[in-house]
């Protein structure tokens, strides 16, 4: 017998043992695995009749070794056996594109999306990935959907080496509380943040002015997050418009794309009313000390609702010096090692590029100055947490007030809760709808929002592509 034959023999006997074990122990389990095996045989490509939209760029993520191609989409739930059929084009003379089947998972692991109360949602954020060879230089990806196709450009991602914190912002959506942004940017800066990546959909003129001010200082990068395209006409009539209820999906998507764009060692995703602070010192020093050279890939900060007296909405920031806390540990937020985070969820990391990495509870707090924090039925507690890491609160407060004066040239806009209330009313209406409807804002609220304010909207070509 040759070696090959001998191994074959061993293999066949092994398969037999497994077979008998399965048949004996788990009749039904065995039948199911046969079912699974058969379904693998009948895997089918996603074709042009499937509702899907693609983020315009694919990524080659060299934080993994070997690197991985990653594609981001919004689509209807996939069956286990569905894959994207793609042609990978390489920068190599005379090389034909390589055809691959690429499988995907929902970004939040559940389909349909289970975030808050989303049972009526048809669409879900997905990520598709496949391992590449180390020395291949990918130039373009063509997704083949039957007779149609979509072309994605390719960006390369590497481990992050610049020391600092980058803060990612979800698509800013009908945003009116510009005072939050001033406190947010100044507090995060004092804790070591060097760059803010702000995905922008819509905001009041006042909010836009604040964003422009910090953009011109070179601190924030405003990236347009415009509406989504309609599905191809021959299938559009069968499905709801993607853009209608897309807010939560955009949130998951923007967060995970933003992570790839971070160039600093540490990153975080936080809303305009959230600042993470350690009990002592600066966040950057604390996070670097806790994570560098350890298995900790993320530090989780427990939620502390914060209220200020007076409120900051009159652009008087004096209350920031003596915040009051109402504690409800969940929902938490986190900072992460930007070289190792793989998929991010909203409140905890989902996975790391190195599966031995873990999350760790931080010695600190998420200071959450939510608009409705006052109305939370929780006891107010004394806590040592402060927004700024030094003892110069009065200097920071004066700086924030001066900054507001500068941005508005001494004429402070009067605060109105109308835009905020209108958005809440619109969402409440969606929640009370009789039909199962996706409880997420989006195009659905546009008409109502346009009645109360002259919004600044993102102007750019759609970031998501459909088949043509």
Ligand X SMILES: *[C@@H]1O[C@H](CO)[C@@H](O)[C@H](O)[C@H]1NC(C)=O
Alpha carbon of 201 to those of 222, 254, 425, 455: distances in Å? 10, 11, 20, 10
Choose between 69 and 291: whose C-beta lies nearer to ligand X: 291
DSSP for 406-467 reads HHTTT-PPPP-SHHHHHHHHHHHHHHH-SS------SGGGHHHHHHH---EE--SS-SEE--
Which stretch, 250-258, 272-280, 310-318, 460-468, contacts ligand X (CB under 6 A)? 310-318
**Contact letters for ligand X, residues 73-112 (x by CB under 6 A):** ------------------xxx-------------------
65 binds ligand X (CB under 6 A): no
**Of the candidate residues 44, 119, 390, 402, the single one contacting ligand X (CB under 6 A):** 44
Candidates 169, 248, 288, 467; binder of ligand X (CB under 6 A) is: 288
> Residues 108 to 147: which contact ligand X by CB under 6 A?
146
Q: Which is nearer to ligand X, 285 or 450 (CB)?
A: 285
CB of 49 to ligand X, least distance (A): 5
CA 235 vs CA 50, 51, 158, 167, 444: distances in Å:
8, 7, 38, 38, 20
User: Phi, psi at residue 346, to the nearest 5°?
Assistant: -70, -45
Beta-strand ranges (E) seen in 136-242 are 138-145, 148-157, 162-172, 193-200, 202-203, 220-224
**Judged by CB under 6 A, which stretch of 1-9, 33-41, 241-249, 335-343 contacts ligand X?**
335-343
Contact between 332 and ligand X per CB under 6 A: no
Is the Cβ of residue 202 or residue 353 nearer to ligand X in the bound state?
Answer: 353
**Binding ligand X by CB under 6 A: which of 13, 33, 39, 49?**
49
Q: Which of 204, 332, 340, 403 binds ligand X (CB under 6 A)?
A: 340
Q: Nearer Cβ to ligand X, position 293 or 384?
A: 293
The residue sitting closest to ligand X, measured at its beta carbon, is 291
The reply on whether position 292 binds ligand X by CB under 6 A is yes
Which residue's entry shows tokens 């007030």? 401
Q: Which part of the chain contacts ligand X (CB under 6 A), choosing from 19-27, 30-38, 255-263, 337-345? A: 337-345
Residue 299 exposed, middle or buried by CB count within 10 Å (0-12, 13-18, 19+):
buried
Please give the Cα distance from 105 to 78 (Å, whole number).
8
Q: Are 73 and 124 in contact (CB under 8 A)?
A: no
Least distance to ligand X, CB of residue 452, Å: 28
From the list 56, 316, 399, 424, which residue makes contact with ligand X (rule: CB under 6 A)? Answer: 316
Q: How far apart are CA 131 and CA 465, in angstroms?
A: 23
Tell me, residue by residue from 359 to 388, as one string, x for binding to ligand X by CB under 6 A and - for no binding. Answer: ------------------x-----------
Q: Is 216:187 a contact under the CB 8 Å cutoff?
A: no
DSSP letter at 5 equals H
Tokens 């969940």 -> residue: 330
CB of 416 vs ligand X, minimal distance in Å: 19
Q: Is 53 in the site for ligand X (CB under 6 A)?
A: no
Per-residue CA distances from 82 to 55, 116, 124, 253, 277 (Å): 19, 27, 15, 21, 44
Give the nearest distance from C-beta 399 to ligand X in angstroms: 12
Q: Which helix (H) or strand (E) holds 381?
A: strand 380-381
Binding mask 385-404 for ligand X (x = CB under 6 A): ----------------x---
Radius of gyration of the chain (CA): 25
Question: Judged by CB under 6 A, does residue 47 bind ligand X?
Answer: yes
Residue from 318, 351, 359, 424 in contact with ligand X (CB under 6 A): 318
Residue 285 binding ligand X, by CB under 6 A = no
310 counts as binding ligand X under rule CB under 6 A: yes
CB of 269 to ligand X, least distance (A): 17
Q: How many residues bind ligand X (CB under 6 A)?
A: 21
Half-sphere exposure of 325 (CA within 13 A, CB side): 17
CB 246 within 8 A of CB 443: yes
Nearer to ligand X, 48 or 462 (CB): 48
Query: Which CB atom, from 211 or from 298, has the smaller least distance to ligand X?
Result: 298
Could you tell me which of 73, 359, 129 has the C-alpha nearest to residue 242?
73
Of 42-50, 118-126, 269-277, 429-437, the window that binds ligand X (rule: CB under 6 A) is 42-50
SS3 content of the chain, % helix, strand, coil (to 5): 30, 30, 40
Q: Where on the chain is the footprint of ligand X (CB under 6 A)?
A: 44, 47, 49, 91-93, 146, 265-266, 288, 291-293, 310, 316, 318, 337, 339-340, 377, 401
């Amino acid at each position: 017998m040759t070696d090959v034959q001998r191994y074959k023999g061993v293999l066949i006997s092994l398969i037999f043992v497994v077979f008998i074990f399965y048949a004996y122990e788990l009749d039904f389990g065995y039948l199911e695995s046969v079912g699974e095996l058969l379904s693998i045989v009948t895997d089918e490509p996603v074709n042009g009749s499937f509702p899907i939209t693609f983020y315009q760029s694919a990524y080659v993520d060299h934080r993994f070794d070997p690197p991985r191609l990653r594609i981001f989409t919004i689509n209807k739930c996939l069956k286990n056996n569905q894959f994207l059929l793609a042609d990978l084009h390489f920068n190599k003379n005379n090389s034909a594109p390589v055809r691959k089947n690429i499988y995907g998972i929902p970004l939040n692991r559940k389909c349909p999306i289970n975030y808050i109360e989303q049972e009526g949602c048809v669409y879900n954020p997905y990520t598709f990935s496949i391992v590449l060879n180390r020395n291949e230089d990918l130039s373009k990806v063509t997704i083949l959907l039957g007779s149609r196709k979509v072309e994605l450009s390719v960006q390369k991602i590497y481990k992050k080496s610049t020391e600092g914190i980058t803060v990612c912002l979800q698509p800013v959506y009908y945003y009116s509380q510009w005072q939050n942004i001033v406190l947010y940017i100044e507090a995060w800066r004092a804790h070591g943040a060097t760059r803010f990546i702000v995905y922008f959909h819509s905001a009041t003129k006042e909010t836009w002015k604040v964003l422009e001010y910090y953009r011109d200082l070179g601190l924030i990068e405003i990236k347009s997050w415009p509406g989504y395209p309609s599905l191809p006409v021959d299938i559009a009539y069968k499905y709801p418009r993607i853009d209608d209820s897309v807010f939560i999906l955009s949130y998951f998507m923007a967060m995970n794309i933003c992570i790839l764009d971070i160039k600093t060692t540490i990153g975080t995703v936080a809303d305009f009313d959230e600042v993470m602070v350690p009990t002592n010192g600066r966040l950057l020093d604390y996070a670097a000390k806790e994570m560098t050279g350890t298995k900790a890939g993320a530090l989780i900060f427990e939620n502390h609702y914060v209220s200020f007296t007076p409120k900051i909405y009159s652009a008087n920031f004096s209350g920031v010096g003596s915040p009051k806390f109402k504690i409800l540990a969940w929902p938490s937020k986190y900072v992460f090692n930007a070289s190792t985070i793989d998929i991010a969820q909203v409140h905890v990391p989902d996975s790391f590029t190195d599966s031995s990495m873990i999350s760790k509870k931080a010695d600190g707090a998420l200071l959450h100055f939510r608009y409705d924090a006052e109305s939370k039925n929780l006891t107010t507690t004394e806590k040592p947490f402060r927004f700024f890491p030094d003892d110069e609160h009065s200097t920071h407060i004066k700086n924030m007030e001066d900054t507001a004066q500068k941005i508005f040239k001494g004429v402070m806009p009067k605060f109105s809760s109308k835009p905020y209330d209108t958005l809440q009313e619109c969402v409440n209406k969606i929640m009370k709808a009789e039909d199962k409807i996706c409880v997420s804002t989006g195009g659905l609220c546009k008409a109502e929002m346009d009645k109360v304010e002259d919004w600044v909207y993102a102007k750019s070509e759609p970031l998501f592509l459909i088949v043509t």
